[in-house]
Structure 1
């Protein structure tokens, strides 16, 4: 590879990183925003954006798939923890800090997932369920893996203009929610009230993309 070719490759990589970062900010603020707003926020020409992403749906798919891959990475890393509860808590804190579920809740249903995304979604579900099952002995009666999805969505709903403050509050309320899921030592393990969320309730946002 020549120096000029290597230079163009580095510039393309920098442009792609800037585009994805800008797209995340733009579409979390307004999923209906035009793709031109992403180019403007990223400081790149619209032609440079279109060379990498032929359309808005391609960009949205990439954003959500990246988030899914980050979820998998957090779960795989947490699974190495020897203590079952620590593994479960580490996993949830990692996913919340990575802000994975903001993308899911805002962008689900705005594009058609690829087969690769569906495959990775199955893998993510398996990893998350495995960590939940490890922690199950410490959880309140009636807790199910679907409750974890709702906990993550609740944390993602916390959003302020100040990113640092948003992260602080999400960690605070994740602790509150984790304490609500965990059985208290020396006290009756009362069952969580009401039925847990169904698969249909968890996936309703994706119905528009089918």
Structure 2
């Protein structure tokens, strides 16, 4: 039987791919910690020359857009996996929430929203991610596993609250995030509960934060 295999990258391309991964990992750490940090801080953390960084990303906004694009694609992947899960409705919903918390995509939202101008590709991915989230939410709601009064926008706020938690090292932070996600999931699940106070955030309120003028650079 004939088999096919993917040819490995040659030495130069493999090194470029490794450098790009290191740069993006460094950029995430630097800008999530300090959105106002200069791009030179990324090069220093990555251990690459500033010229090597600029060859890949001509400016800080290009790097920020790439980080958020990758984050959106990861979120979309998890959302698609949740929609493909035709098992228990609550477990599919809760599993999606847990995987998104593990992916930590919303650290990018709470730290980078308003620090750069999204391009058309980001707008398209964001719209797609939102459409998938609506489908996940509506499926769980229609299955009768969510408490009354919830809105799909409530999920974004839960994710952002969880992403804001930091305690100790990465392992301890992951533990504490899942602890409070468990409490949040108890609040989202159908059961005896008082009506929720106040309306959910509107789409305009959420989207407004991505306007670059909302946060000083």
For 1:107, which of 107, 112, 116 is the aligned residue? 112
For 2:170, which of 159, 163, 169 is the aligned residue? 163
Kept after mapping to 1: 8 A contact 2:158/2:184: yes
Q: Per-residue deviation at 1:173?
A: 0.5
Q: Whole-Å Cα distance in 2 between the matches of residues 209 and 90 of structure 1?
A: 36
Q: Deviations over 1:174-196 (max 9, x none)?
A: 11011011112xx4x64322211
Alignment match, 1:194: 198
Which one has a larger percent helix, Structure 1 or Structure 2? 1
Label 1:64 to 1:134 Cα distance change in 2 as closer, same or farther (>3 A). same
Where does structure 1 lack aligned partners over 5 or more consecutive residues? none
The TM-score, its normalising length taken from structure 1, stands at 0.92
Q: Whole-Å Cα distance in 1 between the matches of residues 194 and 168 of structure 2?
A: 38
Q: Whole-Å Cα distance in 1 between the matches of residues 170 and 105 of structure 2?
A: 14
Paired residue secondary structure (1:78): helix
Aligned-residue CA RMSD in angstroms?
Answer: 1.5
Q: Per-residue deviation at 1:27?
A: 0.6
Kept after mapping to 1: 8 A contact 2:167/2:176: no
Q: Whole-Å Cα distance in 2 between the matches of residues 118 and 93 of structure 1?
A: 25
Paired residue secondary structure (1:170): helix
For 1:48, which of 44, 52, 62 is the aligned residue? 52
Paired residue secondary structure (1:63): helix
Q: Whole-Å Cα distance in 2 between the matches of residues 33 and 58 of structure 1?
A: 14
The TM-score, its normalising length taken from structure 2, stands at 0.89
Kept after mapping to 1: 8 A contact 2:146/2:190: yes
> Are 2:64 and 1:60 equivalent residues in the alignment?
yes
Q: Whole-Å Cα distance in 2 between the matches of residues 40 and 150 of structure 1?
A: 34
For 1:176, which of 159, 170, 183 is the aligned residue? 183
Paired residue secondary structure (1:138): coil
Kept after mapping to 2: 8 A contact 1:140/1:183: yes
Q: Whole-Å Cα distance in 2 between the matches of residues 151 and 78 of structure 1?
A: 18
Aligned residues: 203
